Structure 1
Amino acid sequence: MPPAGDAAALFQRAQALLPRIAHGAAQRERERELPYALAREVANAGLLTFRIPKAYGGPGGSMRDAIRFLIDLAAVDSNLAQALRPNFGLVEGLLFGQDNEAERQLWFQRLLAGQIVGNGGVERGGRHGEIRATIRRRGDHYVVNGTKYYSTGALYADWISSIALDEHGKETHFAVPRGRAGLELVDDFDAIGQRLTASGTTRFADLRVEADELRISYFPRDRRNPVTPLFQLYLAATEAGIARNALHDATWFAREKARPIKHSSAQRSVDDPYVQETIGQIAALVFAAEATTLRAAEAIDAAWADRLSNASLTEASIAVAQAQYFAVDAALKSSEFAFDVGGASSCDREYNLDRHWRNARTVANHNPRQWKAAVVGAWLLKGEAPPTTGLF
């Protein structure tokens, strides 16, 4: 589709597409059918471009706009929402970068044309975040060798972005077309949840990387930046969407499938006061999770408006940490409460209600929520700012 003129146009496209994504989502997870075509539809509709400025042909949306859409997407398919995370991080990094006009033009146009970026991600073994993949110069190009895991969205992507160490131990970023010889994408992600995020293994075997495929990193780990809070808030948005999806399924099950327990005062489950209470509890959790996540998005917008001052970026990180903590709790509780509206039949595999808890638990394990709470506590008690490790 042609680039959208503003965020409102993108939301209209999303509302037309989201019901199609919702249809069969539970079955896709149960059968482990990766939604390749749906990922392509999201990209073709321009829904990865919310934050691309109007000056580059994009809609010029706010962070709040982007996060609002991501909650909506996660509420119908949290796997697909998380799988597209690298694209939003790429845009934010380019916006943050300086003296990178050529790279902005290149990547913004690719995204506006419907192309998708995936991640040749974190490696297993060693210390968290340790990189052992290597990149070496060979004539007029470079060669990469190594193995990555947690390659979010790679199987859906046109471009694979990754990191390797050069001969001096310096992190070197690059992005190559997914069909390049020496690049192998393996569908072996085997977590209990989020199984369709295409987050499996990426192997580099003498992968050729051209000089113009090297990228500058706009994701510094030694100072505050707006990219890190986005990546973390993205996870909170996914959790908030999972909570809403659990509410949707619980409401449907109570209306269409459940029957009151024998000693209930009601003839229909929808009239049972405890079913009503349970739905109300889930609804309150969903309402609050979405509200806190959107408020944290506004904190990132405020940091941009404040020219990304250290103070405003710190406030944004604190806001995101709080939103993450609550969104995780809300998603886990909502997905557990969903079973309280029905009897034993709610556990039937055909309904796949357990996917909500499994998905919420898997997203939550990306970054322990205890650290989120502890960092906020340290800030309030001692004025100690969050770490700049890339997780806050």
Structure 2
Amino acid sequence: MTAASDARAAIASHDTSDLAASVLTVAGVRAAIIPVLDRLGASAKDRERERDYAFDDVRALAETGIALVGIDAAEGGAGGTIRDVTEVVIEVARADSNVAQALRGTFLIAHQVAGRPDLPHRETVLTRLRARDLFAGTANERTGAASGQTTTAARRDGPDWIVDGEKYYSTGGLYASWFSTQALTEDGDILRFTVPVDRAGVERLDDFDAVGQRLTASGTTRFTAVRVHADEVTTLGESEPRNPWTGSFAQLYLAAVQAGIAARALDDAVRFVREKARPIKHSSATASVEDPYVRQTVGAIAARAQAARAVVVLAAEQLDDLRERSGADLRSAAAAAAVHVAQAGVIAIESALTAAELLFDVGGGSITDRELGFDRHWRNARTAANHNPRQWKQSVAGAYHLTGQEPPTTGLF
């Protein structure tokens, strides 16, 4: 069993002419990423131990057009739904959840392009996506100020801006060609901007040091007198978008990463039992694959992996359903979908953590060998879970069900 086995099953029923066509299709992209995911899955444990970034394979993933899944074919995309995008993300996370997390910024901007005809600089961003560019970005800072506060400063210099400051949690920054963030002007306005990562004064630091997600390139991006041209800046407007819950897909993405981790825990459990495990002294079985307790444990892991995938895919379908709605109907459905995504996140997180823990119950002491690297699944799931705590998701969902209170529009739940 490989980390990309689901992808092979998914494309098996498609016409193989899709795979050879010059026009991108969802099936074609999913076929193209299989060998890359196999390489990533095979090397993940060693790369994490050695802090070795998968630059070549991430570039290979980008070249398949993976970020164009979900973008209309008429605009150079592969077509497909949010569910299609989500299933691709799960496949990547199953191979290497660090890589899936590192690609989050690219998939988020692609989702905006697909769903927002009013997106500032939309044609420019779409051109970059078609060129297979990768994106990163964050507004987060580590300044000691209140969470969400911006201290990065922007001052006028003719038609341009000069920016100084530091951003943290720059997920995917080492892989990206473009970096998006925000700064505070002298007038107290918030400016968003996107600059190439090789712009003079932009420095990307590999200083992320969490217990998990070590290869997500989520460290510091430093701006020292960085010139931002006028056409690279968007002033945040005050008008509310048609769907104010714009963060739902970002949260769904995190849940998809968790589903991929749970799936990989199952892969590793099955492989270890088949190839390495020995029955314990008191077992009635002559092979671990026949031990009833090992079978029960693998079944429990499989159930968690299935649950995580199911809730994530169902939540993706809720977001797909919003595309044909408008007005008050859109607002009501979008609020419900945001809660649905939050609930899916809770189950995906809990499923991944449990699956990653149960993995160790299919073997004895040897399954804890550092050479196997199985501890990374729990560490990665635990670290990803801390981005937006489960308690907040559950509280928001409870308030919605009990009183009809709309969820926050910040997306951070």
* TM-score class normalised by the smaller sequence: over 0.9
1:190/1:342 CA distance change after superposition, 3 Å? same
Residue 69 (structure 1) aligned with residue 88 (structure 2):
yes
Aligned partner of residue 143 in structure 1, secondary structure? strand
Give 2:136's aligned residue. 118
Q: CA deviation at 1:293?
A: 0.2
CA–CA distance in 2 between the matches of 1:345 and 1:222? 54
Cα separation, 2, equivalents of 1:34 and 1:204: 23
Contact (CA 8 Å) 1:147, 1:204: kept in 2 or not? yes
Tell me the SS of whatever aligns to 2:186: coil
What does residue 324 of structure 2 align with?
305
Shift of 1:219: 11
- Consecutive aligned runs of 4 or more in structure 1 exceeding 2 Å deviation: 1-6, 14-17, 91-100, 215-227
1:129 to 148, 170, 173: 148
Q: How many residues align?
A: 391
Q: What is the deviation of 1:221?
A: 8.1
Aligned with residue 376 of structure 2, among 355, 359, 375: 355
Task: Kindly state the Cα deviation for residue 362 of structure 1 after the two structures are TM-superposed.
Answer: 0.3
For residues 166-315 of structure 1, what are the structure 2 equivalents within 5 Å? 166-215=185-234, 224-225=243-244, 227-307=246-326, 309-315=330-336
Are 1:12 and 2:31 matched, yes or no? yes
Identity rate, percent: 47
Q: CA deviation at 1:226?
A: 5.3
- Equivalent position amino acid for 1:114 in 2: R
What is the aligned partner in structure 1 of residue 408 from structure 2? 387
CA deviation map 1:137-177 (0-9, x unaligned): 10231100001100010100111111111122222111111
Whether the aligned pair in 1 keeps the contact of 2:152 and 2:166 (CA below 8 Å) is yes
Contact 1:221 1:388 survives alignment (8 Å):
no
Matched, 1:346 2:373: no
Contact 1:3 1:57 in 2 (8 A): no
Q: CA deviation at 1:390?
A: 2.2
Residue number in structure 2 paired with 1:142: 161
Measure, in 2, the Cα distance between the counterparts of 1:19 and 1:75.
Answer: 10
Structure 1 residue matching 2:95: 3-state secondary structure: coil
Structure 1 unaligned segments of length 5 or more: list them.
none
When residues 132 and 2 of structure 1 are mapped into structure 2, their CA distance, relative to the original with a 3 A threshold, is farther
Partners of 2:385 and 2:242 in 1: CA distance: 25
Q: Could you give the per-residue CA deviations for residues 54-110 of structure 1, whole angstroms, max 9, x where no partner exists?
A: 23111222100000000010001000001011112112223444545x822211121
Partner residue in 2 for 1:31: 50
- Which letter does structure 2 place at the counterpart of 1:161? S
User: For 1:97-108, what aligned pairs fall within 5 Å after superposition?
Assistant: 97-100=116-119, 103-108=121-126
- Contact 1:174 / 1:214 at 8 angstroms: preserved in 2? yes
In the alignment, the residues of structure 2 paired with residue 97 and residue 230 of structure 1 have an alpha-carbon distance, to the nearest angstrom, of 13
Per the alignment, residue 346 of structure 2 pairs with: 325
Alpha-carbon separation, structure 1, partners of 2:113 and 2:193: 14
Query: Bigger CA drift: 219-228 or 6-15?
Result: 219-228
**In the alignment, which residue of structure 1 is the partner of 2:12?**
none
Q: Secondary structure at the match of 2:110?
A: helix
Q: CA RMSD in A?
A: 2.0
Structure 2 CA distance, aligned partners of 1:241 and 1:75?
A: 4
1:33 positional shift:
0.6
In 1, distance between residues paired with 2:114 and 2:78? 14
2-structure distance, mates of 1:215, 1:95: 19
Instruction: Report the 3-state secondary structure (helix = DSSP H, G, I; strand = E; otherwise coil) of the residue aligned with 1:92.
Output: helix
The answer as to whether partners of 2:140 and 2:167 remain within 8 angstroms in 1 is yes
Partner SS for 1:23: helix
User: Which amino acid is the alignment partner of residue 172 of structure 2?
Assistant: G
- After TM superposition, the score normalised by the length of structure 1 is 0.95
